[in-house]
């Protein structure tokens, strides 16, 4: 138990904020955690389940006296929230966020913040297909990466302190430059999500293949796409709108490659297909060796589902 911040304010109380709260409590990382959500219903739920030591009815009240303020709202709402809390921030406080896009958040939030606070954007690479205040759990960040994207001129001590905070919540911490972050995430997250959404939408549209058949026979591969495509719609709308260029670039590469494989299928070029599929298998091995997934068949799900 080592307190890193005296008072942490979580603005927005969804999956990430609620998991942060339980991870903070697990290791006693804060003296007090305040919370605020725009919707009264979410605040009621939070109070009912004991999420946050104190749930406030305004963002201003939540951030008052906090030495760490974390914006946990969809990327598209960050600017507005920053404008709302800026006059109420304590001098010397650190302001951070958990958005999946970094350049756009820095652009939206930065200009609102007073000079006497430290702005250290962050992005924990963790999540599930569930959302809302009741979906969080203390182990969400364990052995996941949290990327810190400090802007130029940030106090190094504030960065180190926030890094230690994330480590104590279970994460591995790295720093990265904003544009590079947005490109890496376009590859590892944003493009895969759009592709999964698309495939699930196509399946839903095909009237010759009834919905019930698609659902019944989903275990053949499709169901993994549906998990990804069940993620929070507002969060993902904002991700695509704010990481537009990198996402479109990766999707362009994807389409090019897909066309080459479609051509191989059409012309019956089995060697091309076999070579390609052999190469992709090696990447999976790397991910398991890096501790970022389980080697259990079917994610160990074979036993979990009856």
By CB under 8 A, the residues from 49 to 78 that bind a second copy are: 76
Size of the site for a second copy (CB under 8 A): 113
Q: Does 251 bind a second copy (CB under 8 A)?
A: yes
Segment 160 to 189, residues that bind a second copy, using CB under 8 A: 183-185, 187-189
Distance (Å, whole) CA 258 – CA 253 = 9
| Cα 278 from chain centroid (whole Å) | 30
Residue with Cβ nearer a second copy (57 or 213):
213
Comparing CB distances to a second copy, the nearer of 156 and 306 is 306
Q: Does 300 bind a second copy (CB under 8 A)?
A: yes
Residues 4-43 binding a second copy (CB under 8 A) are none
From candidates 57, 129, 160, 175, binder to a second copy by CB under 8 A: 129
**What are the C-alpha distances in Å from 286 to residues 282, 283, 289, 291?**
7, 5, 5, 9
**Binding track over 188-227 against a second copy, x by CB under 8 A:** xx-xxxxxxxxxxxxxxxx-xx-x-xxxxxxxxxxxxxxx
Helix (H) / strand (E) element for 178: namely: helix 178-185
Q: How far apart are CA 208 and CA 213, in angstroms?
A: 10
Span near a second copy by CB under 8 A; candidates 91-99, 110-118, 151-159, 267-275 = 267-275
Interacting residue with a second copy among 53, 61, 134, 142 (CB under 8 A): 142
* Residue 179: both structure tokens together: 């544009």
Which helix (H) or strand (E) segment is 11 a member of? strand 5-11
Which of 221, 241, 122 lies closest to 171, judged by CA? 122
């Amino acid at each position: 138990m080592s307190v890193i911040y005296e008072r942490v304010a979580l603005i927005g109380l969804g999956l990430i904020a609620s998991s942060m709260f339980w991870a903070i409590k697990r290791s006693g990382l804060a003296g007090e955690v305040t919370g605020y959500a725009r919707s009264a219903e979410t605040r009621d739920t939070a109070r009912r389940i004991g999420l946050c030591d104190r749930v406030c009815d305004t963002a201003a009240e939540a951030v008052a006296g906090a030495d760490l303020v974390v914006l946990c709202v969809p990327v598209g709402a960050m600017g507005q929230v920053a404008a709302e809390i800026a006059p109420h921030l304590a001098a010397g406080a650190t302001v951070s966020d958990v958005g999946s896009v970094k350049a756009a958040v820095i652009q939206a939030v930065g200009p609102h913040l007073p000079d006497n606070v430290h702005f250290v954007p962050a992005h924990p690479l963790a999540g599930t297909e569930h959302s809302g205040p009741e979906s969080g759990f203390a182990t969400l960040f364990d052995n996941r990466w949290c990327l810190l994207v400090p802007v130029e001129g940030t106090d190094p001590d504030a960065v180190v302190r926030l890094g230690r905070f994330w480590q104590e919540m279970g994460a591995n911490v790295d720093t990265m430059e904003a544009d590079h972050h947005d490109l890496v995430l376009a590859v590892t997250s944003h493009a895969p999500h759009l592709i999964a959404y698309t495939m699930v939408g196509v399946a839903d549209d095909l009237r010759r293949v009834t919905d019930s058949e698609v659902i019944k026979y989903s275990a053949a591969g499709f169901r993994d796409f549906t998990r990804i495509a069940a993620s929070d719609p507002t969060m993902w709308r904002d991700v695509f709108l704010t990481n537009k260029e990198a996402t479109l670039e990766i999707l362009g590469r994807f389409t090019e490659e897909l066309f080459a494989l479609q051509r191989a299928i059409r012309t019956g070029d089995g060697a091309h297909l076999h070579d390609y599929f052999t190469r992709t298998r090696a990447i999976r091995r790397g991910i398991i060796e890096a501790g970022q997934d389980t080697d259990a068949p079917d994610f160990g799900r074979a036993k979990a589902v009856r």
